[in-house]
Structure 1
Amino acid sequence: MIISRTPFRISFFGGGTDYPVWYNEHGGAVLATTIDKYCYITCRYLPPFFEHKYRIIYSKMEQSQDIDGIQHPSVRATLKFMGNQRGVEIHHDADLPARTGLGSSSSFTVGMLNALYALDGKMVTKQQLALDAIHVEQDIIKENVGSQDQTCAAFGGFNKIEFGGEKKILISPMTLRPAVCRDLQDHLMLFYTGISRFASEIAAEQIKKTPDNTNELNQMRQFVDDAIGILNSQDTDIVDFGKLLHETWKIKRTLSSKISTPEIDLIYNDAIDAGAVGGKLLGAGGGGFMLFFVEPHKQPAVRKKLNNLLHVPFKFENQGSQIVYYAPADNY
């Protein structure tokens, strides 16, 4: 039996420049971190005593005699990609709900790949995990997804990730002074709107409009370096990071009519009125989690104002996808 643990991510700046339709021509970059909320994949070869060959347990349970009969798109595509010939049983558990803007779909795919490689007795690099997951999601499933979620999930940590050309990814870990890193975490608040959505459907419109959003995407790319400059400054005013989040949200919500909604705008405005400096909706848009930058002494007021939403405390993490349990299976 194998258990993989793969983190979810928070993207601060550069989202939208990680789509191949953009970065293959212009280059792209994001500033993002993984957090201490995880996707767990338990995987084992299924003993040959059952009528079915595959059993997949997530929010529903599937049993199938062949891979093509599996409904879950990532499981089906990943098993095909790995060339699986033996029956397997797969369980999925997660700390946070799916379809909420934290890259959960890609964390699932990365965790699946990591578990299946381990099941086959292979230890692969984080680079390979990321590239394989990008291939599965973009080329096999043909989801409208970028390339940052798979990379974040595989590598973990707080990174600048640059994209350019075919499958070209450069990871630059943020080398922050510990006090700055703690200060940044202390200013961040994560709230769940209760709205789930299919990111691929929302991203489709944004991808289609990419040629019309050149100026906006170039500016969002520039914000990545601006944010790094703020964090690395010797006389850092961390509040400037929050102000930059506000600016990137103002641009992001114009990229597609599906990114924000009147309900999301109301939540955002309520948080600002209560003292937040800035923030953004995470992921493709339409719902899920919202991130706010709030000075610590104003956070009680923001929690009170948004008391109808679930506040989720978190910390940064730097491990990426890991095999946390490995027990070789008996042969039948």
Structure 2
Amino acid sequence: MIITRTPFRISFFGGGTDYPAWYLEHGGLVLATTIDKYCYITCRHLPPFFEHKHRIVYSHIENVREIAEIQHPAVRAVLDCLKVEDGLEIHHDGDLPARSGLGSSSSFTVGLLHAICALRGQYVSKDELASQAIYVEQKVIRENVGSQDQISAAFGGLNRIEFRQNDSFDVAPVITAPDRLADLQGHLMLFFTGVSRIASEVAKAKIDNLKNRVVELKAMHAMVDEAIAVLQDRQTPITAFGELLDRSWQLKRSLSDRVSTPEIDALYSAAREAGATGGKIIGAGGGGFLLLFVRPEYQARVRERLHGLVHVPFKFENSGSRVVLYQPNGL
């Protein structure tokens, strides 16, 4: 039996420039971190004593004879791509809701790839794990997704992720003083709006509009290094990071009329009135989690103003996808 633990991520800046339709022409750049909320995949060899060959347990339970019968698109695609022949039992558990903007779908794909490779006794590098997940989601399932989520899930940590026009990527950990990083974390608040959505559908509207948002996307690209400079310069107030988040959110909202909603705009305005410096909806938009940058002395006031939302405390994490239980029994 294998259990993998794969983190969810928060993307700060550059989201939208990680779509192949954009970066293959212009290049892309993202600043993102993983957090201590995880997707767990349990995978084991299924003994041949049942009518079904594969058992997949998530929000539904599937008992099937053939891979082609599997309804879960990522499970079906991964098992097919890895040419799995023997029966498997796969269980999924997550710390946070799916379809909420924290890269949960990619964490699932990365975690499942990692689990099956580990069950086979195969080592897979972080780079290979990310690349395989990108291939599965973009080429096999053909979802309208970017390329940052899979990389963050595989590598872990706070990273500057560059996407090159030749379809390669580079992951550079952001080096900053531990107390500066702790200061950033202490200013961040995460709230669940209660709205789940299909990220691929929201993303498609943005992708279709990329050619009309060149100025905005290039400005969002530039904010990545501007934000890193804030983190690395102790003379710059950390609140400058929050101000950048606000500027970035205004640009992100312009990418598509599906990124925000009147309800999200009202929540964001309420948070700002209560003391938030800036923030954004995490992920493609349309719902999910609202990230806010709030000075510590205003955080109680913001929680009270957004009392109808679930506040989710979190910490940064650096491990990326990991095998947390390894009991090989063959595949």
TM-score by length of 2: 0.99
- In structure 1, the partner of 2:179 is 179
> For the residues of structure 1 that align with 2:265 and 2:290, how far apart are their CA atoms?
11
Q: Distance in 2 between matches of 1:85 and 1:169?
A: 32
User: Which is worse superposed, 66-75 or 157-166?
Assistant: 157-166
Q: Indicate yes or no: 2:80 matched with 1:80.
A: yes
Q: Paired residue for 2:103?
A: 103
Q: Tell me the secondary structure at the aligned position of residue 308 of structure 1.
A: coil
Residue 56 of structure 1 aligns to a residue whose secondary structure is strand
The separation in 1 between residues aligned to 2:92 and 2:63, in whole angstroms, is: 15
SS in 1 for 2:254: coil
Aligned to 2:33: 33
Alignment partner of 1:213 is 2:213: yes
Letter of the 1:11 partner, please give it.
S
Q: Compared with structure 1, are the counterparts of its residues 252 and 330 closer, same or farther at alpha carbon in structure 2 (3 Å cutoff)?
A: closer
Amino acid at match of 2:206: Q
8 Å contact 2:7–2:320 — kept in the other structure?
Answer: yes
User: How much does 1:65 deviate?
Assistant: 0.4
Taking the aligned partners of 2:116 and 2:205, their CA distance within structure 1 comes to 34
- CA distance in structure 2 between the aligned counterparts of 1:81 and 1:56, rounded to whole angstroms: 17
Output the CA distance in 1 between the equivalents of 2:164 and 2:93: 33
- 1:131·1:167 contact (CA, 8 Å) conserved in 2? no
Where does 1:281-300 land on structure 2 (aligned, <5 Å)?
A: 281-300=281-300
The residue type equivalent to 2:88 in the other structure is V
1:165 equivalent in structure 2: 165
Please state if 1:144 is matched with 2:144: yes
Contact 2:276 2:294 in 1 (8 A): yes
Q: Secondary structure at 1:191's aligned position in 2?
A: strand
Partners of 2:284 and 2:330 lie apart in 1 by 43
Instruction: Name the counterpart of 2:64.
Output: 64
Which residue of 1 is the match for residue 302 of structure 2? 302
Partner residue in 2 for 1:266: 266
Q: Once the two structures are superposed, what CA deviation does each residue of 1:39-62 show, in whole Å capped at 9, x if it has no partner?
A: 000000100000000100000100
What is the aligned-residue RMSD (CA, Å)?
0.8
Deviation at 1:329, TM superposition (A): 1.4
Give the drift of 1:330.
6.4
* Cα shift at 1:166: 3.9
Question: Which residue in 1 is equivalent to 2:196?
Answer: 196
Structure-1 residue corresponding to 2:243: 243
Residue aligning to 1:135: 135
Instruction: Give CA-to-partner distance per residue, 1:244-285, whole Å, 9 cap, x none.
Output: 000000000010010100000010000000000000000000
Confirm or deny: 8 A CA contact 1:189 1:291 kept in the other structure: yes
Q: Is the CA contact 1:192–1:310 (under 8 Å) kept in the aligned structure 2?
A: yes
Unmatched 5+ stretches in structure 1: none
Query: CA-to-partner distance for each residue in 1:291-315, whole Å, 9 max, x for gaps?
Result: 0000000000000000000000000
What is the letter of the counterpart of residue 213 of structure 1?
R
**Partners in 2 of 1:150 and 1:167 — Cα distance?**
14
CA distance in 2: counterparts of 1:180 and 1:288, whole angstroms:
28
Deviation at 1:111, TM superposition (A): 0.1
TM-score of the aligned structures, taking structure 1 as reference length: 0.99
Per mean C-alpha deviation after superposition, the further-off stretch among 227-236 and 22-31 is 227-236
Q: Check conservation: 1:190, 1:312, Cα contact below 8 A.
A: yes
Given that residues 45 and 330 in structure 2 are in contact (C-alpha distance below 8 angstroms), is that contact kept between their aligned partners in structure 1?
no
Q: For residues 91-110 of structure 1, what are the alpha-carbon distances to aligned partners after superposition, in whole Å with 9 as ceiling and x for unaligned?
A: 00000000000000000000
Give the AA of the match of 1:153: A
Aligned residues: 331
Identity %: 60
Q: Deviations over 1:73-106 (max 9, x none)?
A: 0000000010100110000000000000000000
Judge conservation of contact 2:101–2:289 (CA < 8 Å) in 1: yes
Deviation of 1:289 (Å): 0.2
Paired residue type of 1:286: G
Distance 1:233 1:319 in 2: 26
Tell me, in whole angstroms, the C-alpha distance in 2 between the residues paired with 1:244 and 1:77: 38
Tell me the distance in 1 between the aligned counterparts of 2:76 and 2:150. Answer: 17
Q: Is the 8 A contact 2:162 2:171 kept in 1?
A: yes
Shift of 1:233: 1.0
Contact 2:184–2:238 (8 Å) recurs in 1: yes
Distance 1:236 1:325 in 2: 43
Q: Is the 8 A contact 2:120 2:330 kept in 1?
A: no
Q: Helix, strand or coil: the match of 1:277?
A: strand
Structure-1 separation of matches of 2:74 and 2:167: 20
**AA in 2 matched with 1:301:** R
Supply the AA of the counterpart residue of 1:325: L
The match for 2:257 is: 257
**Contact kept in structure 1, 2:45 and 2:88, CA below 8 Å:** yes
